[in-house]
Structure 1
Amino acid sequence: MEATEETTGRRADRARMPAAARSLADRIDARAMSARVLARVLHEVFPTRAGDEEFLAALDESVHDNVQAVLDVIAGRLRIAAAEPVGAIALMDVLARLGEPTSSVERGYRIGQWEIWEQWVAAARDAAGDDAEALVPLLLEPVRTLFDYIDSILMTVLERYEEHRRELDRARLHQRMLMLRQILDGSHEPAPADAATTLRYDCLLTHRAVALVADDRVAAERALERLRLALEAPDGLLHQDSVHGWALWIGRATPPSAAQQRAFRRELDALGLPAGVSDPADGFAGLRDTLHQARQALRVGQALGVRTSWFADVRLEALLLGEEEQAATFVRSVLGPIGGEDERSARLRETIAAWLETGSHVSAAAALGVHEHTVRNRLRQAEELLDAPLAQRRTELSVALRLRRVVT
């Protein structure tokens, strides 16, 4: 009968392993050894999981599978390459779900390896008795086998662990995006505790949203962290709004101090990124409202060429831009002959804006750096072109001048 690769390899393993070591492996109680390994790994690596029955069951199965496999390899019943640690793979799925780091997985295996070796050495000493020469074959090849097995299995389980972590991350990201999308479109409002778990953000805080233009997620995450720290806020939430558009929420339970607000403004300026900033608002509705405001502020700011735009400063433009075509029609109808791009029209609009803002010819002249008579003459020209007294149209003119910066 032709020998298979597996049987050939097994014979080679048995040939290297001394008969005394194979015999000792047959006599060791795998369940008793694994119980001691389990206790040590739990105590030194996962002490906080001692009360988790699901975790304990998975860890116990993994430890026993590995201990039994090591003894089977030493006894010549199994090749390392053929070992299939089902329990160890299952434990990796549990550890990934629990969010345990890779370092814990590696440390658990190394401590388990050391505990197996200590127990093997004790059993070998008992078997050899006072015969020092008999102890060597009981230790040399078995320790090499133990290390080879752990190295091989550790590579297998870490690959599985990383694969499962990636799967979980994708699933969590999808669930997170779905929940946030439902909150923002108003189709579903989850329980606050469920939202906090999934989004990792307390939706019941008072939020301030920032609509930001950034090249990638790394830049957006860095911006969120800097702004969150500036406001000394416990929570922050990030959402990709478009290809290069990001929505950032920063939540606080209490209003920020004046110093924190100044730090927030400084950080926004230091980011050097186009941004729109909302007013603060509370709860789930606040998430929706602040995002809408931040988007509007960003839009107006980009139209005006302003890097950081605050909704409180462009509230009027944002309101009227809800119907952009009507806003443009309003601007044309109010400004009429002084709404063009020519130099005279621009000069007249500048003068009217200064007059409206300062409230007097003298103050407007000072603001513009011209003589008071120049202001009077320009305002008179504007009245003739508009065929109406400016004083009677203050509101319309003020709104039209502000809107013109955005819609033209």
Structure 2
Amino acid sequence: MTTSALDRPTAPPSVLPQWAREATDGLDLPGLRDRVIEADLAAAFDDLREHAAFVPALRASVEENLHHLRDVLAGRVAATSVLLDEPVALAGLQARLRLPQTAVQRSYRVGFATMWEAWSERLVEQAETSGVARGEGLAALRTMTTLLLGYQDHVASQVADTFARADSALSRSREQVRAGLVRHLLRADAPPLSPADLALLDYPVDAQHLAVLLPGVPEGAVRPHLTALREATHTRDALVHPVDLSSTVLWLAQQGCPGWRARAAEQVVDCLRVQEVEACVSQPASGLDGLRRTWAQVHDVQRIRAAWAPVPPERLAYDDVGLEVMLMADPVRARAFVEAELGELGVADPLAERLRETVEASHRFGSHIVTAEHLHLHEHTVRNRLQRAAELLGRPLTERRTELQVALRLCRVLARGGV
């Protein structure tokens, strides 16, 4: 009985015929190694051509991959059973060098494409020399491509996993070190950082600084706010430091831009208003002393904000409450001053609170009409309230005007028991 070609057993699709295995097994690997290394460097790592550690690691990785892949194509080993050493080591180095993962992925795509070209050319040449039928040659090329892509997937998966784990561990370690460096800088008696520490900090300590405390934003959620603030202030340099598990301070820095100091705080407050986030904003300040001063300012502002009655403002800048910060350095004397200046006008009840609000607005706007519009009241109501406030005060509102204004501001932050 004659067996037709259709009835003959065929090799499994994952195994090359003998002639193809011999062809792929005989490829010049040193020459291909150099082609792959050049393709990788040109596509993704051109600036690392002279790197003392990277290039040898890349060469070792390419050599190991080529030998493993030759064994896979020759049928000596399955791709999934290959154990990788040098490619994994290269991935760890790439993570330590802070190379973008996109560059790592691009290099593998380009490298394996170069390998495929070399082996496919070798296979086609062997098929033509041996007189292999066109269909059989195409089937072998397809099988070789499947084997190569399977090996590529095996390598890429292990490399990506190693890179991700190494990058995550390094990031955590780096952020911990940076947090320690920031804590060091904030100490008044701290010695200067070394050049290596300053490089790791990656923030210009000698620049102009503006601090922003986000009391309800943990460090892990601060990035969208930071991105928006950098865009709003046209600032490149920034530093993030956790205060605790639920709040974060970030600094924006600018060098050589005199106008930035005058408008930065206003731009920050406007940006935070759009984001609808609670915040305390410092004044701009320069140098290491300025960094420490802005840190102290945002915490001072937060203490004032936390004590604010009846409802604290969502965003508060140091320029708005610098007087309160200074006077509340001694809360006992501040309270005594308020009691002496306001008398019955300073008592904690809703009527006195409305009267104080009206007096403060009247001082600010200087007009009964504007005050009434601001408070959404009738002008006669404003006049009546001001008259009643003067009666409780025991003197005209025009007397000791400065002391009255200061007492009204302090009363606002003493209503909850002081700060």
Structure 2 residues without counterparts, runs of 5 or longer: 1-10, 373-378
**TM-score, normalized by length of structure 2?**
0.78
2:256 matches 1:248: no
Amino acid aligned to 1:290: T
* CA distance, structure 1, for counterparts of residue 360 and residue 148 of structure 2: 84
Question: Are 1:213 and 1:246, in contact at CA under 8 Å, matched by a contact in 2?
Answer: yes
* CA distance, structure 1, for counterparts of residue 39 and residue 385 of structure 2: 91
Amino acid aligned to 1:83: V
Hey, what does 1:280 align to over in structure 2?
Answer: 284
Q: What does 1:8-19 align with in structure 2 at a 5 Å threshold?
A: 16-19=15-18
Question: Are 1:206 and 1:281, in contact at CA under 8 Å, matched by a contact in 2?
Answer: yes
* CA distance, structure 2, for counterparts of residue 358 and residue 129 of structure 1: 95
Q: CA deviation at 1:396?
A: 5.0
Structure 1 residues without counterparts, runs of 5 or longer: 1-11
Equivalent of 2:393, from 382, 400, 406? 382
CA distances 1:345-371 after superposition (whole Å, capped 9, x unpaired): 557756875787799xxx789968569
Q: Which moved more, 1:267-276 or 1:281-290?
A: 267-276
Equivalent of 1:399, from 390, 400, 406? 406
Q: CA deviation at 1:69?
A: 0.6
Q: CA deviation at 1:180?
A: 1.3
Hey, what does 1:112 align to over in structure 2?
Answer: 111
Secondary structure at the residue paired with 1:244? coil
Q: CA deviation at 1:219?
A: 5.6
Question: Are 1:37 and 1:63, in contact at CA under 8 Å, matched by a contact in 2?
Answer: yes
Question: Are 1:214 and 1:220, in contact at CA under 8 Å, matched by a contact in 2?
Answer: no
Q: 1:377 to 1:167 in 2, by over 3 A?
A: closer
* CA distance, structure 1, for counterparts of residue 226 and residue 142 of structure 2: 56
Hey, what does 1:228 align to over in structure 2?
Answer: 230
Identity among equivalent pairs (%): 29
Q: Which moved more, 1:281-290 or 1:209-218?
A: 209-218
Secondary structure at the residue paired with 1:42? helix
Equivalent of 1:268, from 252, 269, 272? 272
* CA distance, structure 1, for counterparts of residue 85 and residue 22 of structure 2: 26
Q: Which moved more, 1:114-123 or 1:187-196?
A: 187-196
2:274 matches 1:295: no
Q: 1:131 to 1:294 in 2, by over 3 A?
A: same
Hey, what does 1:165 align to over in structure 2?
Answer: 167
Q: CA deviation at 1:59?
A: 0.5
**How many equivalent pairs are there?**
390
Amino acid aligned to 1:173: E
* CA distance, structure 1, for counterparts of residue 289 and residue 304 of structure 2: 23
Secondary structure at the residue paired with 1:295? helix
Q: What does 1:30-45 align with in structure 2 at a 5 Å threshold?
A: 30-45=29-44
Secondary structure at the residue paired with 1:209? strand
Question: Are 2:360 and 2:405, in contact at CA under 8 Å, matched by a contact in 1?
Answer: yes
Q: CA deviation at 1:293?
A: 1.0
Amino acid aligned to 2:411: R
Q: 1:68 to 1:219 in 2, by over 3 A?
A: closer
Question: Are 1:273 and 1:307, in contact at CA under 8 Å, matched by a contact in 2?
Answer: yes
Looking at secondary structure, tell me which structure has more helix per residue.
Answer: 1
* CA distance, structure 1, for counterparts of residue 278 and residue 112 of structure 2: 55
* CA distance, structure 2, for counterparts of residue 155 and residue 209 of structure 1: 42
Q: What does 1:43-82 align with in structure 2 at a 5 Å threshold?
A: 43-82=42-81
* CA distance, structure 2, for counterparts of residue 177 and residue 381 of structure 1: 53
Hey, what does 1:318 align to over in structure 2?
Answer: 325
Hey, what does 1:7 align to over in structure 2?
Answer: none
* CA distance, structure 1, for counterparts of residue 50 and residue 105 of structure 2: 22
Q: 1:366 to 1:312 in 2, by over 3 A?
A: closer
Q: 1:252 to 1:140 in 2, by over 3 A?
A: closer
Hey, what does 1:199 align to over in structure 2?
Answer: 201
CA distances 1:49-96 after superposition (whole Å, capped 9, x unpaired): 212121101100000000011112233443323212211001101111
Question: Are 1:209 and 1:248, in contact at CA under 8 Å, matched by a contact in 2?
Answer: yes
Amino acid aligned to 1:310: A
CA distances 1:291-316 after superposition (whole Å, capped 9, x unpaired): 21122223323414222222122112
* CA distance, structure 2, for counterparts of residue 316 and residue 35 of structure 1: 70
Q: 1:392 to 1:138 in 2, by over 3 A?
A: closer
Secondary structure at the residue paired with 1:133? coil
Hey, what does 1:8 align to over in structure 2?
Answer: none
Q: Which moved more, 1:120-129 or 1:232-241?
A: 120-129
* CA distance, structure 2, for counterparts of residue 347 and residue 86 of structure 1: 75
Secondary structure at the residue paired with 2:118? helix
CA distances 1:165-212 after superposition (whole Å, capped 9, x unpaired): 111111111112111122223464554854553333222111111222
CA distances 1:121-173 after superposition (whole Å, capped 9, x unpaired): 34335545533317838645433322221121211111111111111111111
Question: Are 2:265 and 2:284, in contact at CA under 8 Å, matched by a contact in 1?
Answer: no
Question: Are 1:352 and 1:379, in contact at CA under 8 Å, matched by a contact in 2?
Answer: no
Q: CA deviation at 1:336?
A: 4.3
Amino acid aligned to 1:314: V
Question: Are 1:212 and 1:298, in contact at CA under 8 Å, matched by a contact in 2?
Answer: no
Secondary structure at the residue paired with 1:130? helix
Secondary structure at the residue paired with 1:322? coil
Q: Which moved more, 1:181-190 or 1:368-377?
A: 368-377
Secondary structure at the residue paired with 1:238? strand
Hey, what does 2:334 align to over in structure 1?
Answer: 327
**TM-score, normalized by length of structure 1?**
0.80
CA RMSD of aligned residues (A): 3.7
With a CA cutoff of 8 Å and minimum separation of 6, indicate the structure with the bigger relative contact order.
Answer: 2
